[in-house]
Amino acid sequence: MTRRILWATTICFVVVVGASAALAGEDEDAKKRAEIDAMAKETIEELFESSEGAKGLSEKAYGYAVFSNLKIAFGISGGGGSGVAASNDGERTYMNMGTGGIGLGLGAQKYQVIFFFETEKAFRSFVDKGWQADASAQAAAGDAAAGAAATFKNEVAVFQMTDKGLMASADITGTKYWKSDDLNEKKEKEKEEKGDDEKE
């Protein structure tokens, strides 16, 4: 009898600990999404202050994406970060980014990349299929992104911000963008649970 009680108590303990860990994980994911949203809002505001052209493009765009990345170079460079893609109807998809290549210098650089998508097709392709920025994709960044004459190229416009401000042209070669399974799965779960609560 005592052995059964001990076994039942152990099972209950494991279940409680597991549930607590899961809740803690969900809280961390919610916190991470909130941090990404705040970063995106602040970055967009800084961009608009630096470029009238960017503000004009945003008004014509179907959606946008903002990423924060830390790039480290020691002969061979690499880095990673996270961000969010948002459409005009309020849909938000959280994403990751990674970059690699040959580094010409030493040290670390933190920067933000902002995309504006002219059409729904361009936005959906970026979000649903991911994106590998190669030499041809670099053309979307233009040669004078900081200028008022910034335009869409291949239905995309790209800007890059550093701690020194808006760069004259964005360097996005060797960078890959893809959906964050964890953050988006947890977000959908939270929406479903909220809907169930409202029905009750």
Give residue 30's Cα distance to chain centre.
14
Give the pLDDT confidence score for residue 9 in this predicted structure.
Answer: 40
E strands of 21-153, at which residues?
63-87, 92-117, 131-133
Beta bridge partners of 108: 72
User: pLDDT digits over 73-108, tens only?
Assistant: 544 556 789 999 999 998 999 999 987 655 555 455
Residues 21-61 have pLDDT tens digits of 344 456 899 999 999 999 999 999 999 998 888 999 999 99
Distance CA 50, CA 147 (A): 9
Quote the crossing angle between the two packed helices 2-50 and 52-60, to the nearest 10°: 120
Q: Give the pLDDT confidence score for residue 13 in this predicted structure.
A: 37
For 113-124, how does the pLDDT look when each residue is reduced to its tens digit (9 = 90+)?
A: 999 999 999 999
Nearest residue to 155 via CA among 123, 133, 185? 123
The pLDDT score that the predictor gives to residue 53 is: 87
Q: How confident is the model at residue 116, as a pLDDT? A: 95
Highest mean pLDDT pick, 4-8, 133-137, 193-197? 133-137
Whether the Cβ atoms of residue 66 and residue 112 lie closer than 8 Å to each other: yes
pTM for the predicted model, two decimal places: 0.73
Scan for tokens 């042209």, then name that residue: 169
Q: Strand 131-133 and strand 165-166: pairing?
A: unpaired
- Angle separating helix axes 181-199 and 2-50, nearest 10 degrees: 110
* Alpha carbon distance 46, 157 (integer Å): 16
